[in-house]
A and B are shown apart, each in its own frame.
Chain A
Amino acid sequence: MIEQHLYAIADITSKNHPKRCVVFLISDDRRITAKDEFDKLAITTERHFRARFDAWVDGQINKKMFHGWDQSEFGGNYTNCFVFKCKENKKQRRLYGFLCHPKVSDNRYQICVLVSHAFKNEHETHETYLKIIEQFSTLPDVLEAIKDFFKEKNDGKSLDKPKH
């Protein structure tokens, strides 16, 4: 029997930014670790990550802080995947996620859905992480959670749901 999980979205940067937003995927699925690990970070590391989220939302390009993978890497299988990077002492922390465009009324609006956290020691990204991210990025229940979070009124404005 296939295990059923619940999925929801939590924003970390403002979803009212006109171009981009960073969110966490949250779930009872143990493979989804980004938010749990982020919430446990030391304050300096947490601030570094938040500054990186801001930089990406603002449209800055800086491969040392965050990047995706293009067609030339891993056979072009992970072009939707994305990672935020931060060095903490000698450990390399990574927050892996995927990019998507959740608004029907504005197909340029882009979000990064953070899924999992990892420590990374080798220079190259372990493909296993990306495979998992890619799986979640196409999961119907995940897509439904994203759609629900970025639900829009008929006039194209997003609905801000009260936080619980």
Chain B
Amino acid sequence: MSENRIKIVEKILSANERLANENRRRIDQVNAYSINLMASPGAGKTSFILATINGLQNDAVQIGVIEGDTAPVTIDSDKISAVGIPVVQINTGGECHLDALMVEGALDQLPLNAIDLFLVENVGNLICPAAFALGTHSNVLIASTPEGDDKPYKYPNIYRGLDVLIINKIDLLPYLNFDMDYFQQGVEMLNPGLITFPVSCKTGEGIENWLDWLKIKLPKN
């Protein structure tokens, strides 16, 4: 019997990445844009999706939403269906993140050809979603001011993979000890020049700037 060492050097999550590439191919095929929305619980992911839907209602953009939840609770997806948008809920069965396989299953249930913009609401968590690519065109994190200004320092990985940062609940800044300079220094160390939109989903402040960025990314029909 001979003993051997075999050199491999393969990313542990390479299978997920292959599936993510396949998801991207399907979304590109229908000429749509897609966003992975991440945040901690309560940061305002669903409110942000609703504000985005509302802001695009005069732009003839067909939106499809994929809702990730750890339990079969349809509170979020009910809010999306209530405004007439196709939505698929993924119950992760306790898993702390969405992965590419779950998104593949959700894409099967949406009318792909009819959709210009896929919004994927990840599970509320700042750690695990950072490790699993879904195949979306951009990763967007919604940070909210009540969470505190130290989050980039505590959860560096999620900030590193971002394309856009939303700072939600800026209407609460007068009531909080949130040091914006300290927060943004942490972000700058991890992701220099990150596109950032301070917003309030409650008052609507700043949402227009986000929509302007998004509209440039949307396919031209």
A-B complex is real: no
Q: Which residues of B contact A (CB under 8 A)?
A: none
Q: Which residues of A contact B (CB under 8 A)?
A: none
